[in-house]
Amino acid sequence: MIAVGIGCRRDSPAERIAGAVGEALANAGIPLDRVDALATADFKADEAGIVEAAARLGLPLRPIERSRLDAVQPLCATRSETAVAATGLGAVSEAAALAAAGRNATLVLPRIARDGVTCAVARGEGA
């Protein structure tokens, strides 16, 4: 299972989010058709830009509960003090990708940050 995790500032446009996904996948050498889900924190899942980006990319959107995001924080490669201040989590996109990828998940690509959007890619064994 390959999951792409997204974090973003409120009201980030879909174009910016989809662009970050494209860049991350290119950097990871993974084609879009191999991706199983776009994942984000459950408190971001109603963001119009994220919802629209998932639809444009043809990916199911997986909201991840805070408890699952907390559980994978030790596996995250980066820690953002900005994210801690805003969400209480050191990493949102990496944690969402790891939690969505499932058992034995590892980061294929640690987060990239572009124009208020963070994106990370993880691979795991699924639920």
CATH number at residue 111: 3.30.420.180
Tens of pLDDT along 12-55?
A: 999 999 999 999 999 999 999 999 999 999 999 999 999 999 99
Structural domains counted in the chain = 1
Structure confidence at residue 85 (pLDDT): 87
Instruction: Give the C-alpha separation, 13 to 20, whole Å.
Output: 11
101-127 exposure pattern, b = at least 16 Cβ within 10 A, e = fewer: bbeebebbbbbbbeebbbbbbbbbeee
Query: 53 is in which domain, residue-wise?
Result: 2-123
Q: Kindly state the tokens that stand for 65.
A: 């509960």
- pTM, entire model: 0.95
Check whether 127 has a pLDDT greater than 90.
no
Q: Kindly state the tokens that stand for 118.
A: 């963070």
The length of the chain, given as a count of residues: 127
